[in-house]
Amino acid sequence: MEAKPGKENEVEAFLKSAQPLAVSEPGTTTWYAVKIGPSTFGIYDTFPDENARTAHINGEIAKALFAKVDELFSKPPTINLLTILASKSPGA
């Protein structure tokens, strides 16, 4: 996601404020709001199954994010769906 010029701090604050919503989603295994560059941000999350992913994509974080598109972002966020083929977890 690319912040509009001068809106970088607001995007960062908005993403940080979404963390409690992610915590309240029982189907969201992990959720990360990340800063990739000075004005580039992203969200990376994982789910145990497709139903949980669909619930998240249609949930409160996405609704809040897309409600702020015109105010905060240079263009609408892109949602890229991926499948994890292999991973390393603590204790594995």
What tens-digit pLDDT sequence spans the chain (92 residues)?
Answer: 999 999 999 999 999 999 999 999 999 999 999 999 999 999 999 999 999 999 999 999 999 999 999 999 999 999 999 988 998 877 65
- pLDDT at residue 41, rounded to an integer: 97
Kindly list the domain boundaries of the chain, sorted by start residue.
8-72
52, 28 contact by CB (below 8 A): yes
- What is the C-alpha separation between 92 and 89, in angstroms, rounded? 5
Angstrom CA distances, 49 to 52, 53, 72, stand at: 6, 7, 31
- pLDDT at residue 49, rounded to an integer: 94
- pLDDT at residue 92, rounded to an integer: 58
Which CATH architecture is the domain 8-72 placed in? 2-Layer Sandwich (3.30)
pTM of the predicted model as reported, rounded to 2 decimal places: 0.87
Strands (E), the chain: 30-35, 41-46
